[in-house]
Amino acid sequence: MSIFKASNYAADLIEKAVTGYDLSPADIVRLLSISGKDTKTLLAAADSIRKQYVGDEVYLRGIIEFSNFCERNCLYCGLRIGNPKLQRYRMMEDEIIGTAKQVKERQVPTVVLQSGEDSFFTTTIICRIIQRIREETGLIITLSIGERSYEDFQAFKKAGADRYLLKHETASTELFQQMRPGCKLESRVQCLRWLKGLGWETGTGNMVGLPGQTRETLAADLLFMKQLDADMLGIGPFIAHPDTPLANSANGDIELTIKMLALARIITRDTNIPATTALGTLDAGGRLKALQAGANVVMPDFTPFKYKTLYDIYPGRTDVGSPAEIIAKLKNYLASIGRTIIFGSGYRPGKTINSPTNI
């Protein structure tokens, strides 16, 4: 008998999902609308699935935000090209490599190279940075640099990168075009399918609380993640930035975001799901809540302090201090819920590291 007592329709639906029942869009909408004890049942179910499929260990990814230049004009993002108030920066190549060495020194096995969509960093430059990091540190490399061509994805993988994070943001074609002027969802999805086809460990994800978003569009997001068979899922709340057209919009709801994360764990089982810094920005205990609802990854920020506050995608980011201080704090934080950091590769079960020599 399941440990999740089916006292009503919602609990019964959760129990079915735990045992492998394919949730319909209407089922997901229903579960996103629950509250009280039903929410507790959902979160407990997600935590149980997490424990079963990916264990109690929490994986670390060290982020380097190497450029805040962006050629896109997304309505929600402080890095948008239409924000003249932002002081722009690009880290020099040696700075990036030096920071990657700090990630290595802290025994974090994966570095995440993240930036706005900045064409200054050509294919040649990115490949050289990848090759140097692999040769000088041996770190696993995740890229999060936006939409690129099929040929670019091929080149980056051949150079030695292995993971790529490209959040689809919303599965609604209309909302996507509204939030990202001049961009098309179909192009984003094509990039994700190219990445999967090329053998990348591929991440996607969405924002919860975008103006105009509905529970139906959130259900479509979850089903898209499952259909893509994404290896990583980044789910976080929308946070209104004062220097964007959405400055006066309400922030995303923490409880709804946590329910989305829990459903993502139940639906996708063994994916890697981070407890995002955005959750911690809106709620001091937000990341802890995420880790108790299915999350199994934390991504400490190694960006040099002089740049960290300038990577202003949303206001109020709280991940400050030296890398050593951040990781020490994380250890204590995780111990409070019976979880531990594991300094392993953190691949989705069944995945292996692709070295440049076997691509």
Q: pLDDT tens across 38-50, in order?
A: 999 999 999 999 9
User: What pLDDT score was predicted for residue 107?
Assistant: 94
Residue 355 has pLDDT above 80, yes or no: no
What tens digit of pLDDT does each residue of 182-241 get?
999 999 999 999 999 999 999 999 999 999 999 999 999 999 999 999 999 999 999 999
Indicate the burial class of 147 (C-beta count within 10 angstroms; 0-12, 13-18, 19 or more).
middle
- Laid out side by side, the sheet with 110-115 consists of 62-67, 110-115, 140-144, 163-165, 201-208, 232-237
User: What pLDDT score was predicted for residue 4?
Assistant: 42
The band of 319, judged by pLDDT with boundaries at 50, 70 and 90, is: low
Average pLDDT over residues 5-13: 73
Is the distance from CB of 289 to CB of 253 less than 8 angstroms? Answer: no
What sections of 182-214 are H helices per DSSP? 185-197
Please state, in angstroms and as integers, the Cα–Cα distance from residue 262 to each residue in 247, 329, 345, 348, following that order.
28, 24, 23, 17
Greater confidence, 7 or 319? 319
348 DSSP assignment: P
Residue 111 has pLDDT above 70, yes or no: yes
What sections of 206-338 are H helices per DSSP? 215-228, 254-268, 277-282, 286-291, 305-308, 323-335
Tokens of 207: 């924002």
Task: Count the alpha carbons within 13 Å of 252 in the hemisphere toward its beta carbon.
Answer: 31
Indicate the burial class of 161 (C-beta count within 10 angstroms; 0-12, 13-18, 19 or more).
buried
User: What phi, psi does 255 have (nearest 5°)?
Assistant: -65, -40
Q: Give every CB contact of residue 84 below 8 A, 6+ residues apart in sequence.
A: none
What tens digit of pLDDT does each residue of 249-282 get?
999 999 999 999 999 999 999 999 999 989 989 9
The band of 327, judged by pLDDT with boundaries at 50, 70 and 90, is: confident
What average pLDDT does the structure give for the chain? 93
User: What pLDDT score was predicted for residue 92?
Assistant: 98
Tokens of 104: 């290595």
CATH of 57-346, one of 3.60.10.10, 3.40.140.10, 3.40.50.300, 3.20.20.70: 3.20.20.70
Q: Give every CB contact of residue 291 below 8 A, 6+ residues apart in sequence.
A: 58, 275, 298, 334, 337, 339
User: What pLDDT score was predicted for residue 139?
Assistant: 98
The band of 329, judged by pLDDT with boundaries at 50, 70 and 90, is: confident
Tokens 């722009």 locate to: 88
Q: For the chain, how big is the Rg over CA atoms in Å?
A: 19
User: What pLDDT score was predicted for residue 8?
Assistant: 80
- Give the domain ranges of the chain: 57-346
Q: How far apart are CA 65 and CA 191, in angstroms?
A: 21
User: What pLDDT score was predicted for residue 2?
Assistant: 42
Tokens of 132: 């140097």
User: What phi, psi does 326 have (nearest 5°)?
Assistant: -65, -45
User: What pLDDT score was predicted for residue 323?
Assistant: 78
User: What pLDDT score was predicted for residue 359?
Assistant: 29
137-146, 314-323, 347-356 — which is least confidently predicted? 347-356
Tokens 């994700």 locate to: 192
User: What pLDDT score was predicted for residue 3?
Assistant: 42
Residue 354 has pLDDT above 70, yes or no: no
232 strand-pairing partners: 203, 272
Residue 294 identity: G
User: What pLDDT score was predicted for residue 6?
Assistant: 40
Residue 286 identity: G
User: Model's pTM, two decimal places?
Assistant: 0.94
